[in-house]
């Protein structure tokens, strides 16, 4: 056992094979994503992000991405028969940027508990997620590891979007469900002989109080913040 990391005394997934959810209810009326039905979002992503050689569209979800600095970022995950696309779609002004990951370049998909180092100043995440790796993490350049906005770390960690935890009914609530994304992505990867591995997902958290403020204030999400939208 690695004593430098926190431990979680539970299986990697729930008894029905899903990632462990957070024990929260999240009011979602301030999130701009709820103004979009799934049909609307698919139309916008197809128009603004997809290229003719991206392959056939399969599905998309709006999820929480946890980056290498432990920042929580609203991310539209689009799956085609060739690519996993990680899209930063601004639900306010509809700007978007995307990172394309060839499905055949993906090496590993882990599903399990999210584990913080013991020395982390960040609170323990009492839930699970999925980590998808498409490169050698050990070979990531130092400058990328220490750059919170670097897009060159070859992995992504995903969890449910906050709207998944809404106590109120939402249109297309399945769009915020990470388990459905895991199922579809793992099915697409099976043709490359990549199978889901169940293991704890170790976060590389930094002692950075800005990260605590960033996550607690949902700065990575498009929200109405008392009349100020960003």
Domains along the chain with CATH numbers: 38-223 (2.30.29.30)
Closest CA to 197 of 70, 13, 14, 68: 13
Compute how many other C-beta atoms are within 10 angstroms of the C-beta atom of residue 25.
Answer: 10
The confidence score (pLDDT) of residue 146 equals 64
Query: What are 72-115's pLDDT values in tens digits?
Result: 999 999 999 999 999 999 999 999 999 999 999 999 999 999 99
Burial class (CB in 10 A: 0-12, 13-18, 19+), 1: exposed
| CA-CA-CA-CA torsion sign (215, 217, 219, 220) | positive
Please say whether the beta carbons of 164 and 27 come within 8 A: no
Most confident option among 54-63, 130-139, 210-219: 54-63
pLDDT at 196 over 70: yes
Q: Which residues of 94-124 are buried (b: 16+ CB within 10 A; e: fewer)?
A: eebebebbebeebebbbbbbbbbbeebebee
pLDDT at 17 over 90: yes
Query: What are 151-190's pLDDT values in tens digits?
Result: 778 999 999 999 999 999 998 999 999 999 999 999 999 9
**pTM across the whole model:** 0.91
The confidence score (pLDDT) of residue 229 equals 53
The confidence score (pLDDT) of residue 230 equals 46
- Across the chain, mean pLDDT equals 89
Mean pLDDT within 204-213: 73
Alpha-carbon 72 to chain mean position: 8
The confidence score (pLDDT) of residue 1 equals 44
Query: 138: helix, coil or strand?
Result: helix
Query: What are 44-66's pLDDT values in tens digits?
Result: 999 999 999 999 999 999 999 99
DSSP string, 142-191: HHHHT-TT-S-SSEEEEE--GGGG-SS--TTGGGG-HHHHHHHHHHHHGG
């Amino acid at each position: 056992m690695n004593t430098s990391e926190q431990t979680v005394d539970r299986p990697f997934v729930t008894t029905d094979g899903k990632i462990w959810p957070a024990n929260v209810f999240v009011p979602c009326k301030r999130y701009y994503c709820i103004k979009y039905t799934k049909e609307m979002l698919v139309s916008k992503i197809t128009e603004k992000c997809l290229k003719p050689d991206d392959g056939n569209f399969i599905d998309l979800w709006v999820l929480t991405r946890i980056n290498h600095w432990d920042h929580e970022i609203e991310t539209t995950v689009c799956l085609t028969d060739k690519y996993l696309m990680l899209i930063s779609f601004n639900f306010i002004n509809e700007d978007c940027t995307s990172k394309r990951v060839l499905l055949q370049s993906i090496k590993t998909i882990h599903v399990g508990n999210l584990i913080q180092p013991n020395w982390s100043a960040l609170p323990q995440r009492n839930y699970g997620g999925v980590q998808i790796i498409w490169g050698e993490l050990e070979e990531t350049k130092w400058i990328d590891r220490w750059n919170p906005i670097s897009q060159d770390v070859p992995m992504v960690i995903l969890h449910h979007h906050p709207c998944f935890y809404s106590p109120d009914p939402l249109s297309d609530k399945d769009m915020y469900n990470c388990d459905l994304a895991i199922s579809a992505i793992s099915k697409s990867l099976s043709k490359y002989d990549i199978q889901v591995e169940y293991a704890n997902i170790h976060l590389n958290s930094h002692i950075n109080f800005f990260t605590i403020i960033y996550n607690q204030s949902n700065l990575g999400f498009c929200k109405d913040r008392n009349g100020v939208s960003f």
